Structure 1
Amino acid sequence: MMGPRQEAQAALFYEFSLEGHVPQDHLLRLIDPFVDLSSIRPHLAPFYSHTGRPSIDPELLIRMLLVGYCFGIRSERRLCEEVHLNLAYRWFCRLDLSDPVPDHSSFSKNRHGRFRESDLLRHLFETVVARCIAEGLVSGQRLAVDASLIEADANKQNSTPKEEWDRTAIDPADAPRAVQEYLEVLDHEAFGAASEVEPKFTSHSDPASQWTAARKGPAFFSYSDNYLIDTDHGVIVDVEGTRSIRQAEVGSTRTMLDRVKENFDMDPDWLIADTAYGSGPMLGWLVDRKIDPYIPVIDKSGRSDGTWTREDFEWDAENDRYICPEGHELKQFRRNYSDPNRGPTGKGRAKYRALKLICQECPSKARCCPNADARSVAREEHEDARQIARDIAKTDQYEIAMRLRKKVEMLFAHLKRILGLNRLRLRGPCGANDEFLLAATAQNLRKLAKILPAPQKPQTA
C-alpha cells in the first residue's frame, strides 16, 4: 500500500556528524592526508598587521581554492555556494554546519595582497612537490618539459594592431592591474624580453598575453603553461607561465631547471622534450650542465637536390676541419693571422671551405657542389652539443624517452578536460601564474591520492 506522506518536521536537537557523511572513497578524503598547511601561517605572518580586526583564516581560503581546482570550480562566487551546500566540501575546509562561508571578495583581496606579496601559492606548490619526493614518487633522474596554450581572458574586439600600439602612452598610475603587470615584465625573459617581434594585436585588458594562431585555427590571445615533470610517476616538479612563443617557453626551461636545483637539489640525467627545444643554445646549455638532451635537433642542413649534406662530411675536431667523402679537407682559415680579431673566434656560425682547384678537378663534384665553384660547410656554435643529441637519437633509450614524453601531454589533457582550465579567469602574468600553480598543485595532490593507498581508519571499540 502507499506509505504515509513525508513531511519535514523540525527537531529541537540533531545528532549529526560531517565525518560520517563523507564516503571513504571520496576524492577529498583521499587527498586530505597529503594537504599539509602547517607552514602557511608562519609564511604569512610578516604580511599581517599586529592590530586590527582578525582576518579570515588563510588555511580556510587555501582549502577552498584546492576544492575549486580539484573539481574544476574556478568561479569564486560559485565556489562559495558549493562549499555552503556540499557536506564533503565543508568537511575538507574544516567548516561545521553552522560555520559561515567566507565571501567571494575575500579571495580577490588576499590574492592581490598577501598571497601574491608572499608568493604563497608557489610555496604551497613546492610543499606538495616536497611531499611527493618524500613519498618516493620523484627520483629526479629523468625529467620532461613541454608547454600548452591556455586562452587568456581577452578578445580581439578589445585590442589594437601593432602599427597603432604605443606603450609609452600608458599612464601606470591610471592603468588597470593587468596593464601595470605588463609594464613590469617588459624586461623579463619570459615576457617582453623573450622576443623583439611585436605581436600582431595587443589586448587592452591583458596586454601581456600573446596573439597566436599556433593551433592552426582561429587566432586568439593566450599564455603558455610550462610543465617540468618527473617521468617516474608524472609528478609536476615545476611550473611557469610565459608568453606563447618558442623563445619564452625554451627560456622557462632553464628557469625551472635552476629552480628545482636550488629548491630540491635535483640534477637530472635526462631532459626529454620535443623539437621546439632542440636549438643549438639550448642543447649547449644542457650539455654544459651534464644533462643528456633527449631532444630532436632543429637542423636545416639537409638538401632536397640529392647532393651531399653536412652529415656526409667527417668532422676532425683536433685539426678544426671537415673531411669530404673524397678525402679532401675543408678549413675555416688556411693561414695564421697576426691580428687576432681576424682569426677564428670559436663563436657564432663558422663556414669551412674547400679549395676551388681541388673541387674543380674532383670526380664527385656533381654530387657535391654542381652549382658552385667550391664546396662549403657551415658549422654552428653549439655543433658539438647538437651532435651529442643526434647520437642519443640513435640509441634504444631515445625510443623510451619519446614514449615517456607523452606523460606531459597527458597532464595537459587532464588539466583541460578534467580540471576545466581551457581559459583563464585571472588577467596579467601574475594571474596566469596563480592559476597555473593552483592547477598543478591540484594535479599533484590527485596523483598522490591515486598512487598511494589511503590510510586505514582506526577501528573504534
Structure 2
Amino acid sequence: MALGKQGDRNGKMFIAWDELPKSPGHVFYDRLQSLLNKAGFDSFVEGLCAPLYASRKGRPSIPPGRYFRMHLVGYFEGIESERGIEWRCADSLSLREFLLLDTGQSVPDHSSLSRIRSRLPLELHQEIFTWVLDVITHAGLVQGDRIGVDASTMEANAAMRSIVRKDTGEGYRQMLYRMAKESGMNTPTNEDLSRMDRQRKGKKTSNKDWESPTDPEAKVARMKDGRTRLAYKPEHAVDLDTGAVVGVDIHPADQGDTKTLSETLKTTKKNLEKVGKAPSLNNPTELIADKGYHSRAVLKELDDSLWKTRIAEPKRKGLNWWNGDHDARRAVYNNRIRLGSGKACESAKRRTELVERSFQHTLDRGGMRKTWLRGRENVEKRYLLHVTGFNLGLLMRKMIGYGTPKGAADAWNLVFVGYQTKSGWILLVFAVHEEHPNNLMPVAAVSKSLV
C-alpha cells in the first residue's frame, strides 16, 4: 500500500448518492425529533405562522419549524450567539438531520434567524411555549398545585462605558472630562479621570438619569456576582412537584421582586388555564417565594385569591404598625401561620432546589447569562424558546433518562464477560450504549494464567 498524501486529493465532478456522507444519528436528537413529529409540531407551527406570510405569491420562506429547532439546538448545546448556532448546525450531520435539511440545502444564515424573529410576534413565541407545556402536561409533568417563583439577572448586550445622560446626551467619560476641566486640569489623562471618578463624592449611576444609547430598555443593576452591569431580569414560575417552568417573563432589571410578581402570576395563570391546570377560588394554588417578595401590598392583593401564599417573612425590628389597615394585617398573619407548618419548610426547600436548577440550565449551561440581542422583546422571544427547550429536556429525561445531548451521548454501560480456558481465565470488558445494545465497543482484556 502506498502512502497517501494530502496533496493527492482530486476533486470529483460527480459523486454517487451512496458515497455522500450520512449521519450515524444522535440518540437524543433522534428521539426528540420523533417526539415533535408525533405531537404534530411542524403542522401546528405552520398553522400559527401562515397569516404572517403571503398566501400564494413569493419565494417560499425558511420553514418556521426549522427556526424554532435551531433555537432549541442553541439551548441544548449551550450556544450564546445565533452565529454560533448556525456554525454548530452546519458542522454536524446529525443536527442537519434534526433540522430536516435535504442534501442540497444549506443551514439558514444567522441573519435569517434575525429576520424571522422580527416577523414573528412575541405572542407566537408564547404560543410555542404553551404548546410544549401542554405536551409535557399530558406526560404528567405539570401538576399546578405548588408554584415557586424567583428571579435572576441576565447581562445585556450594552456596555456601562457607553451610557449617556437622558437630559443632555452627555457620555460618562465626557462628564468626567468636563468636571476635570472645571476643577483646573488643563489636559487630564485617563489616569486622572479614573482617580477623580474614584474619589468624587455622591457618585451614583441612576437609571433615572442614565441610559444606554444602543439598548435603552437595559437597566443598570447589580449582578449576582456583585458586578454592576446593564441587565434584564428573567423571572420563573416553576411547578414544585415536577420542576417544569410554567411561566416566564423578562422584566426591567431595576424593578423589585414585589413589582414584577403580579405580571408573572398573570402569565402563569394564563398558561395553566390553557393546559387545564388553572387555579380556582375553591382550589387555590400554593405560591412559594423568598422574603424578597414579602410586602404588605403583595400579601393583601393575594389574600383570598387564586393563590395561597407561603412567602418567607424577613425579620422585623420592633412592632408592626398597621394604622387601621386590617386587611393587610389579616393577610400578613395568614401568611405567617401557613409558614409555620412542616409543609411550608418542605416547599421552601423544593423552591430553592428546582427554581435555581431552572436558572442554572437556562442561563449558565444554556448560554443565556449574557444575551447578544437588544431590546426586551427580542430578548424575551429567544428566552422563551430557551425555557421551552428546558421543559422538553425534562420530558426527554423521563423518556430516555437523559435531558441533554451530552448526557445521552455518555450513556454507556460496562459489560464484563469472563470465561475459563485450559491454562487460565480471560476477562473481556465491553462498553454498550443503552440505546444501541447490539453495538459492542471493546475496552479491555485481562488474562490470568493458572499454570
TM-score (norm 2): 0.71
Q: Compute the displacement of 1:32 (Å).
A: 2.1
Q: Distance in 2 between matches of 1:58 and 1:89?
A: 16
Partner of 1:29: 30
2:264 to 238, 253, 257: 253
> How do 1:51-200 residues align onto structure 2 when only pairs under 5 Å count?
51-113=57-119, 115-116=120-121, 119-161=123-165, 164=168, 198-199=207-208
Q: Distance in 1 between matches of 2:20 and 2:296?
A: 62
Partner of 1:177: none
Q: Alignment partner of 1:37: what SS?
A: helix
Q: Alignment partner of 1:351: what SS?
A: coil
Cα deviation, 1:171-228, whole Å, max 9, x if unaligned, reads xxxxxxxxxxxxxxxxxxxxxxxxxx95453111111112112547231111111111
Partner of 1:351: 323
Q: Distance in 2 between matches of 1:122 and 1:18?
A: 37
Q: Does 1:232 align with 2:241?
A: yes
Q: Does 1:292 align with 2:298?
A: no
Of 199-208 and 103-112, more deviation after overlay is shown by 199-208
Q: Does 1:420 align with 2:353?
A: no
Q: Alignment partner of 2:301: what SS?
A: helix
Partner of 1:185: none
Q: Indicate how the Cα distance of structure 1 residues 73 and 18 shifts in structure 2: closer, same or farther if over 3 A, else same.
A: farther
Cα deviation, 1:137-190, whole Å, max 9, x if unaligned, reads 111111111111001111122212466579xxxxxxxxxxxxxxxxxxxxxxxx
- Do the aligned residues in 2 keep the contact of 1:18 with 1:91 (CA within 8 Å)? no
Partner of 1:42: 47
Cα deviation, 1:320-362, whole Å, max 9, x if unaligned, reads xxxxxxxxxxxxxxxxxxxxxxxxxxxxx7437xxxxxxxxxx
Q: Indicate how the Cα distance of structure 1 residues 418 and 76 shifts in structure 2: closer, same or farther if over 3 A, else same.
A: same
RMSD: 2.9
Q: Distance in 2 between matches of 1:75 and 1:439?
A: 13
Q: Alignment partner of 1:138: what SS?
A: coil
1:206 to 194, 206, 215: 215
Q: Distance in 2 between matches of 1:202 and 1:295?
A: 33
Q: Indicate how the Cα distance of structure 1 residues 78 and 413 shifts in structure 2: closer, same or farther if over 3 A, else same.
A: closer
Aligned length: 353
Q: Alignment partner of 1:56: what SS?
A: coil
Runs (5+) with no aligned partner, structure 2: 171-205, 402-433, 439-451
- Do the aligned residues in 1 keep the contact of 2:133 with 2:275 (CA within 8 Å)? no
Q: Alignment partner of 1:420: what SS?
A: coil
Q: Distance in 2 between matches of 1:84 and 1:253?
A: 37
Q: Compute the displacement of 1:294 (Å).
A: 1.4
**Identity over aligned residues, as a percent?**
26
Residue identity opposite 1:133 in structure 2 = T
Residue identity opposite 2:139 in structure 1 = E
Residue identity opposite 1:387 in structure 2 = Y
